[in-house]
Structure 1
Amino acid sequence: MADKQVDRRRFIQKSVAASAGMALGLRSFEEQNLRAQMAEGGGPARNRAQSSAAPTPTGKIKDLTISRMFCGGNLIGGWAHSRDLIYVSSLVKAYHSDEKVFETLALAEEMGINTILGNPSADRVLNRYWNERGGHIQFISDCAAGASIKEGVKRSVDSGAHAVYVQGGLADMAVRDGKTDLVGEALEYMRQFGVPSGLGAHDLETIKAFVEAGFKPDFWVKTLHPDNYWSATAQENRKPFDAVGPYGQKHGEHHDNMWCRNPAETIAYMNGLKEPWIAFKVLAAGALHPRDGFKFAFEGGADFICVGMFDFQLRENVILAQQTLSGDLRRSRPWCA
């Protein structure tokens, strides 16, 4: 009987080992197959495998070195931009437990992403990741928390933010409401902390107002994506500052479905600015394939792209970003970072 138990145990051990080996083989095959399908026009799979192993390109904002693609914090925070689907933000929050966030950030770092951009409310989980897990990912804070921008800035810096900026929605509303000077005051306040300080916007009118006011941020954070996807706001219904509401109630009006209403004009205007530019919403909150959104943003002049990514999207997105940056990239703006 004892001999049978030993034989059974050995059989199970061998079966588990074989299953593990098969799983590793399948994973390897799946990743190779994924890489083989990513570049249009085919080509040897081994060349694409090499590109996935290459370091993720970086640029600099002042003394801060940042991967040219990095993580957005909206998915972790639950701001999912889900058009008229009412459950998605709750689903995203339920998925992103602290452990899942740790796994996602660790995978990002493994793949060469060294930064995440998010809300000050991410400080709790980021500090846990740094202090308990030994993570090193950098944090750019949008400072959109508390009773004022200054309060959000102070909280962000005290919590370890490596760079800060005025969040696009806050900036858009300030310009729309004739309070541009408040953003200038916030920018000067940010500078006191010695970290890179930027200005964000969804609407190009906001960037123009800041330039006309003489503001000199260390970097810009501006939306950029094509406008040819199915759910894009109809051309005749696009209005200044519509990205910050109110939402329309009729089909074809803006309803949390578009963040760069004039991409061609945005590209042309940003070409004239010399400060580093972080483009965000480059996939129109999931409406565009990364292959298309990444290329559009980098060719449109962005120095960095901020991309909200689930853990299961990271590997593919990094490979696509690397292929985009190492390919025949026809930029309309010199690299400014």
Structure 2
Amino acid sequence: MSEKTHRRGFVGKTAAWTAASLAAGWSLPATAASDAEGAAPAAEALPSPLPRGKIKNLEVSRLLLGGNLLTHYTHSRDLRYVYQLAREYNTDEKILQTLAVAEANGINTLIIHYVPHALEILQEHRRRGGKMQWITCTAHAMVSGGLDAFKQQIDALVAAGTNALYISGVEGDHACGFMNDISAPEAEERVGAPRIELLAQALEYAKKFGLPVGIGGHRMGVVEDCEKAGLDNDFYMVTFHHLKYPTAKLNFDSRWCARSEELAALMQNVRKPWIAFKVMAAGTIPPQSAFRYAFENGADFIVAGMFDFEIAQDAALAAQIIAETQNRSRPWCA
């Protein structure tokens, strides 16, 4: 019985992945196409379209594609070979295929940092007819180079064709005085003086382009400070995940949200759209648990770093969980 169940699950996933691949406009090897055709009669129907919400005037799928894997940056604790593995697998052409598969499965937006070569690949995707939207941030320029460096990278992102901008989580953290390592026991301690005026200046500059602009953070204190100051950001991009996994206590690139219950309570009173990221704690929490926790506890959108072969299943899972969590305590704010 277990062998039959395993095979049925495999066939269903293969058929869904194949259908998404064909819809995206790229072909399969003859043997794979033949196998998929043979399995088609037994496969389940593809899921309904992935729901969307609006951030200002931008319509965004509630599941977004995370950009770290596409820029070969993986949070993999001390497994250093994983960085090289991601780089070898996600070639430029594979990234283009991944974007196409994501679109075919209803994901219309990705989140990515300022990486010039990655932007070139995204532009090539558009030249090939792709419609993927970009929500981008600087490569933490405000921390390393100050406001002038931030402005330069924002200019470059707008010129490249971004659809929305946000102040990165590292920039938001530092401007609010949170400079300790995010996974350290003292992550939530302020060790520097908050510089809300710096955030306000950065926000003002980014908003002059007329695009949606958000503020990112890895600590709930960033949201508290911004709300208290009355900053006019269009959305928040904040880490959010539960702590029910073994490596949460290792304090080594394995925890991104130390006070998840308190953050959920805080966001109850925030009516700006909330994009939750690191919902799987960099791959340590399974999607089923991570997605449900984020959506049930108030996130309007979630970001997931996904390889191409994971997208169809994750998109279907997100759509199912969203359909089951309409009556949540925090209303949908987008």
Given the two structures, how large is their TM-score scaled by the length of structure 1? Answer: 0.80
CA distance in structure 2 between the partners assigned to 1:195 and 1:75 by the alignment: 25
Q: Equivalent residue for 1:72?
A: 66
Q: Equivalent residue for 1:88?
A: 82
Q: Equivalent residue for 2:208?
A: 192
Compute the displacement of 1:332 (Å).
Answer: 2.2
Q: How many matched pairs?
A: 283
What CA deviation, in whole Å up to 9, does each residue of 1:222-262 have, x standing for no partner? Answer: 111111111002xxxxxxxxxxxxxxxxxx3x211111111
* Structure 1 segments unaligned to the other structure (5+ residues): 1-15, 33-45, 234-251
Q: Equivalent residue for 2:222?
A: 206
What CA deviation, in whole Å up to 9, does each residue of 1:36-69 have, x standing for no partner? Answer: xxxxxxxxxx5xx3xx331110000111000010
Of structures 1 and 2, the larger Rg is shown by 1
What CA deviation, in whole Å up to 9, does each residue of 1:171-209 have, x standing for no partner? Answer: 112211333321111000011000001100011112112
Contact 1:70 1:113 in 2 (8 A): yes
Please give the secondary structure, in 1, of the residue aligned with 2:50.
coil
Contact 2:140 2:170 in 1 (8 A): no
Q: Is the alpha carbon distance of 1:214 and 1:101 closer, same or farther for their aligned partners in structure 2, counting shifts above 3 Å? A: same
Contact 1:149 1:166 in 2 (8 A): no
CA RMSD for the aligned pairs? 1.9
Q: Is the alpha carbon distance of 1:198 and 1:79 closer, same or farther for their aligned partners in structure 2, counting shifts above 3 Å? A: same
Q: Equivalent residue for 2:244?
A: 228
CA distance in structure 2 between the partners assigned to 1:73 and 1:183 by the alignment: 24
* Structure 2 segments unaligned to the other structure (5+ residues): 1-28, 178-191
- The yes-or-no answer on 1:125 pairing with 2:121 is yes
Q: Equivalent residue for 1:165?
A: 166
Compute the displacement of 1:299 (Å).
Answer: 0.7
Contact 1:231 1:257 in 2 (8 A): yes
Q: Equivalent residue for 1:105?
A: 99
Contact 1:145 1:152 in 2 (8 A): no
- Tell me the amino acid that sits aligned with residue 143 of structure 1: T
* Residue pairs, 1:1-337, within 5 angstroms: 20-26=33-39, 32=43, 46=44, 49=45, 52-121=46-115, 122-131=118-127, 133-144=128-139, 146=141, 147=145, 148-176=149-177, 177-178=192-193, 179-233=195-249, 252=250, 254-337=251-334
Q: Is the alpha carbon distance of 1:200 and 1:20 closer, same or farther for their aligned partners in structure 2, counting shifts above 3 Å? A: closer
Given the two structures, how large is their TM-score scaled by the length of structure 2? Answer: 0.80
What CA deviation, in whole Å up to 9, does each residue of 1:280-311 have, x standing for no partner? Answer: 11111111111111111011111111111000
CA distance in structure 1 between the partners assigned to 2:33 and 2:218 by the alignment: 47
Contact 1:144 1:170 in 2 (8 A): no
What CA deviation, in whole Å up to 9, does each residue of 1:80-129 have, x standing for no partner? Answer: 11112112122212211110000000000111110000012121111111
- Tell me the amino acid that sits aligned with residue 282 of structure 2: A
